[in-house]
A and B are shown apart, each in its own frame.
Chain A
């Protein structure tokens, strides 16, 4: 599903440049539940941004669903994101003036679906994350955990191939963290590829494969007990 070969990325800082990713090789197959671990500055967010087509790599090859990602412009990237990817962010990134239902329905708008249909589907997904009764509330009327579940519903509503989660539990307490992780597990059990970035061991341990990054290189890549027990 995701195949990365010798990926390099550096950011210009003044006259110098900061070499963030120094040759990453990673292959994630369809249906995997992978977490990327690493301390801040290890390059894990950069990796996710590149995988999520939010940023462009300098060198190496990246294949998404078998398609080589090269010479991307914003328009192409937008279409691919809408088609293949679902995002979950640490800070939820809900649009504040839209209700939970409208937030979930937004990706379907960019897919070109009609209003009636997309609100129907959005409600279905809100129900799936247990927030059907909160459909018409604005984000600031929801708790952190609820917001993240709205964001998860929004990420899933287009039935993406891969769900990318950037520190999805970073802003949550332990109880809500568990409920969010349970949701992600459910998603994965339905066959969706889930790609999580975290610095919390407990979170990473609930995934099936942990990739550890340090200073822009992969230092370990192993399957967890959760994977073995399955």
Chain B
């Protein structure tokens, strides 16, 4: 394969026919550039969709209640639904095998005060599993545990930005803050990927909250993480069944979305995977279309080039060139041009994608558009093979023309 004289012949042929070489190279480079951009942008769209739901656990299910919108069993519309501890206990016992994480949630808005700094924050009363459902990351200290709940401790885990607001750069862990008039011990500081709002929250034990504020067993929400062993469809079925059960238990019309609903990540996951699949099909369809167009382009040019060189091949054959040497020369030239041009297109595309980066995320939902090295290698292989075919077929034909006919060509 490596024959210095053969390469010299090829470089001379490329060099002396620059326009032709550049034109055929351009077709390939352009096709690969389009392919790379398209692939990268589709990837970016996919990344955005995946990222949009990354804030909470991928298997979370939130049971939410509000007012009824339909009359049911003599009960009138507009009745406010209240979840209680027994509902939580019912769900966690009834579906224990289908649940990985479980937590209640009570929403409160309290003024949190430390020395002279004070502000109102969203405070949530939760169970320990809530950490995993909300994907809370502990930076310092620890999260709430079962003992805190049992003892109804007055402890609080605060968000990174609350700490910043109240303490600045000074340490906060182990300090006491005033929450709605009572003193709470800071046992942990957390951060969250969900944005600034999520980091201006604080968590306290649900039992403490129920005791101190109202002395009842009311809860605002039931948060669950379904068992990851469930398939998406099973998880959706589980969510639907639990929804029906809870409505029955709370005397809600079976179709009353307003009174009780379950936000099931399984459905979002299904949506994401459907969108991803659709995107994948679009990528494959348009991407391979672009590649094929490029391959056809170079094939056409090669046919033209070989027609133009038929006489040259005739001369070479008269001088003793074997058909295989002519085919080899053309194929090697074609592969060289496609590979170099393809590489240029690929590099340019990758460069443009890295230049775009995350700048389109806000407006166009494209996050971190990029192509994986596997795709790059795959596309390069496709290119080399297509260069091979594009050169081989017409060259073989040209090499088999009788030299007398080739010499007559013009």
Contact = CB atoms under 8 A, between A and B. Distances in A.
Interface stretch (A13-21, A102-110, A127-135): A102-110
Contacts of B400: 74
A124 to B, nearest CB: 18
A82 B319 contact: yes
A8 B203 CA distance: 104
Interface stretch (A47-55, A140-148, A204-212): A47-55
Contacts of A94: 315
A158 B320 CA distance: 10
Contact of B320 (A79, A97, A102): A79
Interface residues of A, number: 28
A93 B315 contact: yes
Contact of B8 (A79, A89, A115, A154): A115
Contacts of B12: 97-98, 102
Nearest to A109: B5
Interface in A86-128: 87, 89, 93-95, 97-98, 102, 106-107, 109-111, 114-115
B16 A78 contact: no
Interface centre among A54, A55, A82, A114 (most CB of B within 10 A): A54
B318 A97 contact: no
B320 A55 contact: no
Contacts of A49: 404
Given A97-B13, A109-B5, A115-B8, A78 B404 contact: no
Nearest to B404: A54
B407 interface: yes
A87 B404 contact: no
A147 to B, nearest CB: 13
B318 A81 contact: yes
B322 interface: yes
B323 A75 contact: yes
A115 B5 CA distance: 7
B406 to A, nearest CB: 9
Contacts of B79: none
A95 B315 contact: yes
Contacts of B8: 115
A54 B321 CA distance: 12
Interface in B47-68: none
A54 B17 contact: no
B402 interface: yes
B387 interface: no
Nearest to B410: A91
Interface in B306-351: 311-312, 314-325
A74 B317 contact: yes
Contacts of B44: none
Contacts of A95: 312, 315-316
Contacts of A158: 320
A189 B318 CA distance: 25
B13 to A, nearest CB: 7
A110 B316 contact: yes
Contacts of B317: 74, 78, 81
A135 to B, nearest CB: 16
Interface in A51-93: 52, 54-55, 74-75, 78-79, 81-83, 87, 89, 93
Given A95-B312, A97-B13, A115-B8, A110 B320 contact: yes
Contacts of A114: 5
Contacts of B13: 97
Nearest to A93: B315
B403 interface: yes
Contacts of B318: 52, 54, 81, 87, 93
A95 B404 CA distance: 16
A37 B317 CA distance: 26
Contacts of A98: 12
B136 to A, nearest CB: 71
Contact of A97 (B4, B17, B319, B321): B17
A206 to B, nearest CB: 25
Given A49-B404, A98-B12, A109-B5, A78 B323 contact: yes
B315 A110 contact: no
B337 to A, nearest CB: 16
Given A79-B320, A93-B315, 14 more contacts: A54-B403, A54-B407, A74-B323, A75-B322, A75-B324, A78-B323, A81-B319, A82-B319, A95-B316, A106-B316, A106-B319, A109-B5, A110-B321, A110-B322
20 contacts: A49-B404, A74-B317, A74-B323, A78-B317, A78-B321, A78-B322, A82-B320, A83-B320, A87-B318, A93-B311, A93-B315, A93-B318, A97-B13, A97-B16, A97-B17, A98-B12, A107-B320, A111-B320, A114-B5, A115-B5
